[in-house]
Amino acid sequence: MQLNRRSFLAAAVTGAGAFTLPAAPAARAASRPRVKLGISTYSYWHFRTTRVPIETVIDKASALGVEGVDILHRQMDLGEHEPLVPAHRAYFQKLKRHAFRNGIDLICLSIHQDFVDPRPAYRQAQVAHTHKCIEIAYELGIPCIRLNSGRWNTIPDFDDLMKARGVEPVLPGHTEDEGFKWCIDAIEQCLPKAAECGVVLALENHWGLTSSPAGLLRIAGATPSPWLGVLMDTGNFLENPYDKLAQIAPKTVFVQAKTYPGGGEWYTLDLDYRRIAAILASAGYTGYVALEMEGRENPDTAVPKSVALLRDAFGIQAAPSA
């Protein structure tokens, strides 16, 4: 039996015959989870061992069927505060090609900068560093960079800061309000560059001024811009995390999800990721969730276990293997 185009369409529409039209793309998409899973390169390197190359993490993420990689700037094969030179730009293009060939999106560049300092020249240098990092993200095709507010550095050693639960006194002779002003002014100087390059600035609930939801939202809300949002780190509110995560969820544009197999490097939290997934879903979050495995267990066993945990909590299926 032969069918011409008209009879084929008639059979498909009426249900007669053996032919049916495929489901509309929108109908198929509606059944898919909107949250995607990534892995931070930090999951494989906690500053205490030999640096793990970005390419290695891309390979491991691809093997695990994870869609994206969040790059820790300090883990890249270049000096953190060096000016960009042609060799650096060639390295960026190699990384971009390597990710593409492995089916991996480069989803965030997690940088370190500190805007909480009374010295104008120091703050201006931090703004210039942030501009450079925005350029790096642009060259890599990364749509987002992680920002810190910075901190007072009255507890210089990070291990000691963690023993103090991330709380440190204000620098003598200054006020917390001054710190907020410095930070907001510096971010405002970075926003035009972010808009020019199409890179979102995601301010993390880290230590210092952003260690509370009120502090984080004070900065993030001071200059309304589509190029400024919040990065939710699930492990950086050490007490009563869920209410605090719910407060910042509406402004969240990127999520870093901490896990602690083998016990954490500095502390261990028992996080309920089904509850966190529900908080994000209620806020309408549809972006990436990047694993930050901060446990002491070997990442080659700890990362796959953590990926499975997040997939289960967020209802994310593994990408099919090649």
Exposure string of 37-68, with b = 16+ CB inside 10 Å and e = fewer, is: bbbbbbbbbbeeeeebbbeebbebbbebbbbb
Summarize pLDDT for 196-245 with one digit per residue, the tens. 999 999 999 998 899 999 999 999 999 999 999 999 999 999 999 999 99
Phi/psi at 24 (nearest 5 deg)?
-60, 145
Q: Are 19 and 139 contained in the same domain?
A: no
CA distances from 165 to 30, 119, 168, 264 (A): 42, 26, 9, 14
Q: Are 199 and 137 in contact (CB under 8 A)?
A: yes
Q: Are 115 and 242 contained in the same domain?
A: yes
Q: Are 69 and 22 contained in the same domain?
A: no
Q: Are 140 and 169 contained in the same domain?
A: yes
Q: Are 83 and 4 contained in the same domain?
A: no
Q: Are 2 and 93 contained in the same domain?
A: no
Q: Give the pLDDT confidence score for residue 319 in this predicted structure.
A: 61
Mean pLDDT of 167-174: 94
322 within domain boundaries: no
Q: Is 5 exposed, middle or buried (0-12, 13-18, 19+ CB in 10 A)?
A: exposed
231 within domain boundaries: yes
Angle between helices 120-140 and 176-197 (to 10 degrees): 30
Q: Are 194 and 247 contained in the same domain?
A: yes
Q: Give the pLDDT confidence score for residue 207 in this predicted structure.
A: 87
Q: Give the pLDDT confidence score for residue 159 in this predicted structure.
A: 87
116 within domain boundaries: yes
What's the number of domains the chain is made of? Answer: 2
The residues that bridge with 202 in the sheet, in sequence order, are: 146, 229
Q: Are 78 and 119 contained in the same domain?
A: yes
56 within domain boundaries: yes
Q: How far apart are CA 57 and CA 110, in angstroms?
A: 15
Q: Are 93 and 6 contained in the same domain?
A: no
The residues that bridge with 203 in the sheet, in sequence order, are: 147, 230
Residue 126 contacts by C-beta under 8 Å, 6 or more apart in sequence?
113, 114, 115, 117, 150, 186
Residue 266 contacts by C-beta under 8 Å, 6 or more apart in sequence?
159, 162, 294
Assign 69 to helix, strand or coil. strand
319 within domain boundaries: no
Q: Are 112 and 229 contained in the same domain?
A: yes
Structural domain boundaries, residue 82: 34-314
pTM: 0.88
CATH number of the CATH domain containing 121: 3.20.20.150
Assign 290 to helix, strand or coil. strand
